[in-house]
A and B are shown apart, each in its own frame.
Chain A
Amino acid sequence: MKFGDLLVDRGWPFLPTSNWEVNPATGSSAMRYTLSPAVPTGTYIEVLPSLASRAVLLAAAWFQADWNWSSSAVETGYLIACNKVATSAPFLIPLMGLSAVQGGTRARPWYVHGMLGEATYVGFIPVRDTSEARRFYEGTLGLQVLEDTPFALVVEAKATMLRITPVPELTVQPFTITGWHVADVA
């Protein structure tokens, strides 16, 4: 990952001053930030490696006492306390992600979004013949068909789509390729 892959939300009141570096305090990737003159105290961000696949960056503002910011974070220019957010207040992570999706109805300069963490997932299922597949996915499973073309049978999959795609040679795998989360399997 590099800085160019990330979008900095308009609400951010600071400017990046470095490419990715290793935060000496945590050993994880981080960027140093310089505050804009409008912001009186330090604000730093850091990628949590465990969440890198979601591309959710945690960020912080204002160094509130209850977040227990380390003074060394201020001095070194790294947010080392974000790991405390992840462990002590994990509920903040999806909230930050949601904020990014919604764009924020008010200035919330405490998250960064980028890459695919907030993008809508699209599923793919390879089949030999979409007309046969349609009988099953539409007729048996009850999925609404959005599109049926030579390229794909596209069905609704609650807030996203499932593209059932004809392939010339299908090697069926012995493992699960996709699934649905339901209220009660039984």
Chain B
Amino acid sequence: MTARALADRGVVCTFYDGMVQDELGIWTSPGGDRVAWFRDPDGNTLSLTSSATP
């Protein structure tokens, strides 16, 4: 599952003040890992992570 797939299913990733995130909400860490956050219906914050080097 990707941030785009989430968006297609109506799940908007969470944006945070002060963090540089792309249009999908993906933040790239200094090491190159990428993270996107989204919330479940209760508001719990969940994340998707992918490594810089798979």
Contacts and interface: CB of A to CB of B under 8 A. Distances in A.
A173 B45 contact: yes
B16 to A, nearest CB: 10
A126 B42 CA distance: 9
Contacts of B6: 140
A135 B22 CA distance: 28
Interface in A101-153: 125-128, 132-133, 135-137, 140-142
Contacts of A181: 48-51
Contacts of A137: 40
Nearest to A180: B48
A127 B41 CA distance: 8
A127 B4 contact: no
A141 B45 contact: no
Interface in B1-31: 1-4, 6, 9-11, 22, 24, 26
A182 B1 contact: yes
A186 B44 contact: no
B34 to A, nearest CB: 4
Centre residue among B10, B42, B49 by max chain A CB count within 10 A: B42
B2 A186 contact: yes
B42 A128 contact: yes
A182 B26 contact: no
A172 interface: yes
Contacts of B11: 140
Interface of B: 1-4, 6, 9-11, 22, 24, 26, 34-37, 40-51, 54
8 contacts: A140-B9, A140-B11, A141-B1, A176-B47, A177-B44, A185-B50, A186-B4, A186-B22
